[in-house]
A and B are shown apart, each in its own frame.
Chain A
Amino acid sequence: AQTVTQSQPEMSVQEAETVTLSCTYDTSESNYYLFWYKQPPSRQMILVIRQEAYKQQNATENRFSVNFQKAAKSFSLKISDSQLGDTAMYFCALTTRDDKIIFGKGTRLHILP
């Protein structure tokens, strides 16, 4: 069975600080993709970043970067220079060839002014 675990239900940081959200996963598949999605209060699901399992290089999108440790099955998200608009629920997700996305339970992130 495939699982995604986010161990931090809630976090708060000051604006402009850097914050790291943790995610671990488990799969027996060799070919898979990992994602971080953001869900602000509007409840839209917004793709933040995507990582291909066979690529060793960590994905980066502007202020968002990941630390992908394949052997440890860890996929953390780092948000640099955090902004008030980053306040949201963040979901780590895994997809394999069966096409389903497995979501973690989410981390609620509060950026404080």
Chain B
Amino acid sequence: GAVVSQHPSWVICKSGTSVKIECRSLDFQATTMFWYRQFPKQSLMLMATSNEGSKATYEQGVEKDKFLINHASLTLSTLTVTSAHPEDSSFYICSARNRVFGQPQHFGDGTRLSIL
């Protein structure tokens, strides 16, 4: 089945640091990837849609300059949390699907980000 790899799975860093999270589709091409944020015991909140070769589309209320998304190839999207602060601590999940409408999104295992 389709596999999405997300790395790192857990990161702890100091306030002010920038953190990059990678999302790779291992066995299929993903023209579109999605980035979610999940607070404890809550649902997934879509942050942005990452489109290969073009700018990401951010959801309302998500700071573009804080959460930089790059989708340079059909198998890799990155989310960079710039100048991270404790309030950015959360669980971040990416997903990807192939080009066919109705195919389910396949999720990475998530990244637990803790900012001290």
Chain A contacts to B: CB under 8 angstroms:
31, 33, 35, 42-45, 47, 50, 52, 91, 95, 97, 99-101, 103-106, 108
Stretch at the interface among B14-22, B39-47, B68-76, B78-86: B39-47
A33 vs B102: C-alpha distance in the bound complex, in angstroms? 6
Please judge, given known A-B contacts A44-B107, A44-B109, whether A104 and B91 are in contact too, CB under 8 Å. no
Residue in B34, B38, B41, B110 whose beta carbon sits within 8 Å of that of A101 in the complex: B34
A83 vs B54: C-alpha distance in the bound complex, in angstroms? 45
Report yes or no: B43 in contact with A105, Cβ–Cβ below 8 A: yes
Report yes or no: A95 in contact with B43, Cβ–Cβ below 8 A: no
Report yes or no: B109 in contact with A43, Cβ–Cβ below 8 A: yes
Q: Does B49 contact A (CB under 8 A)?
A: yes
Q: Does B53 contact A (CB under 8 A)?
A: no
Residue in B43, B49, B109, B110 whose beta carbon sits within 8 Å of that of A100 in the complex: B49
Residue in A44, A100, A105 whose beta carbon sits within 8 Å of that of B42 in the complex: A105
A28 vs B107: C-alpha distance in the bound complex, in angstroms? 27
Report yes or no: B43 in contact with A104, Cβ–Cβ below 8 A: yes
Question: How far is the CB of A6 from the nearest CB of chain B, in Å?
Answer: 9
Report yes or no: B105 in contact with A101, Cβ–Cβ below 8 A: yes
Report yes or no: A43 in contact with B110, Cβ–Cβ below 8 A: yes
- In the complex, what residues of B have CB within 8 A of residue A31's CB? 101
Question: How far is the CB of A98 from the nearest CB of chain B, in Å?
Answer: 9
- In the complex, what residues of B have CB within 8 A of residue A91's CB? 43-44
Report yes or no: B110 in contact with A44, Cβ–Cβ below 8 A: yes
Please judge, given known A-B contacts A43-B110, A103-B43, A103-B44, whether A97 and B104 are in contact too, CB under 8 Å. no
- In the complex, what residues of B have CB within 8 A of residue A103's CB? 43-44
A58 vs B79: C-alpha distance in the bound complex, in angstroms? 37
Residue contacts A-B, CB under 8 angstroms, 17 given: A31-B101, A33-B101, A33-B104, A35-B104, A43-B93, A45-B93, A45-B110, A47-B104, A47-B106, A50-B104, A99-B101, A100-B49, A101-B34, A101-B46, A101-B105, A103-B44, A108-B41
Report yes or no: B101 in contact with A106, Cβ–Cβ below 8 A: no
List B20-36 residues whose CB lies under 8 Å from chain A: 32, 34
